[in-house]
Amino acid sequence: MGHVTGIDSLAYNSRALYWPPAGKLLLSVCLLVGSLSSYNLYGPAIVLGVGLFLFLYSVKGNLPSFILLLIAAVMAFNAVGVIIIAATQAGSPVFSISLPFIVINISQEGLDLAALVFLRSFAGLFVVLFFASSTPIPHIFNSLKKMGLPDYIAEITVLVYRYSFMILEQSEQMVNAAGCRLGFSGWWNYMRTTGTLTANLFIRSLEFAERSQNALQSRNFTGSFPVFREPKRITTVWIFLSLAVFASVYLIGNIR
């Protein structure tokens, strides 16, 4: 689970940390939608290039090992997914794969669609990584609150975010402790340990949350978490830039 805290710390150290969160979100959505609107490989390829550039800029060119592992894991899942898409498409078979109980026919249409989906997914991953590595969660919800998200939803979201890290930290300690006591030896032991561990984790988290709630209220907590430096508001430049990027990707992605 180290990559959860890893991405969070990347976001707080990003070069693009103080870019307007709503602007980064709009640009990312425009890139993603542009990629999905493309019917050829050029559109997603451009999005991949832009996403990769923005991501590398955001992390100052440093790629931590957990990010590489994350990318490899996601793309491995996606690769198998696109194989199924290729195998289920209609069309005259280009080649066949014989398995013990079934023969899978792969058509040219299936291969084309699989390549498009794979590239869209690969491009989308870097766009999401750019957004994730440059925008801490409190900044996103701070911006959404300014855009009309109800206060109580913004508050519960920030609380979920804070408690997630707390539970992650506690779970690491408890899993280690249970492992040291051979709690995970054998299937039934594994299930029983995990069940009681999650219950204990829930209770301990509640107790911790109770204490932190008391601490917050004793400091005049009124349901809002101020951020040290307010993220910038979105400007018209960001809106025009995002729309221009979308239009470019859409046009290039629909060249026949």
Partner 1 sequence: MHIMEGFLPLLWAIMWYVVSIPFVLYGIMEIKKLFREHPEQKMILAVSGAFIFVLSSLKLPSVTGSSSQPTGTGVSSVLFGPAITSVMATIVLIFQAILLAHGGITTLGANVFSMGIAGPLIGWLAFKGMRSFKAGMIPSVFVAAVLADWVTYLVTSIQLALAYPGADIISSFTAFATVFAVTQVPLAIGEGIIMAIFFDFLLSNRPKMIREILKEKIGKASSETPGVAQ
Q: In the range 189-208, which residues lie near partner 1 by CB under 8 A?
A: 191-192, 194-196, 198-203, 205-206
Could you say whether residue 185 binds partner 1 (CB under 8 A)? no
Q: Which is nearer to partner 1, 85 or 241 (CB)?
A: 85
Under rule CB under 8 A, which residues in 227-256 are in contact with partner 1? none
Could you say whether residue 80 binds partner 1 (CB under 8 A)? yes
Q: Which two tokens stand for residue 5?
A: 């805290």
Of 35, 58, 142, 242, the residue at the interface with partner 1 (CB under 8 A) is 35
Could you say whether residue 103 binds partner 1 (CB under 8 A)? no
In angstroms, what CA-CA distances link 75 with 33, 58, 106?
20, 21, 21
Under rule CB under 8 A, which residues in 11-30 are in contact with partner 1? 28-29
In angstroms, what CA-CA distances link 237 with 15, 83, 147, 240?
19, 41, 18, 5
Could you say whether residue 3 binds partner 1 (CB under 8 A)? yes
> Which residue has 């959404």 as its token pair?
144
Q: Which residue pairs from 155-162 have beta carbons closer than 8 angstroms and sit at least 24 positions apart in sequence? A: 155/223, 155/224, 155/225, 158/225, 161/137, 162/212
Could you say whether residue 89 binds partner 1 (CB under 8 A)? yes
Which range touches partner 1 (CB under 8 A), out of 56-64, 128-136, 178-186, 226-234? 128-136
CB of 159 to partner 1, least distance (A): 4
Bridge partners of 104?
97
Query: What is the Cα–Cα distance from 36 to 28, expressed in whole angstroms?
Result: 12
Of 168, 239, 241, 251, the residue at the interface with partner 1 (CB under 8 A) is 168
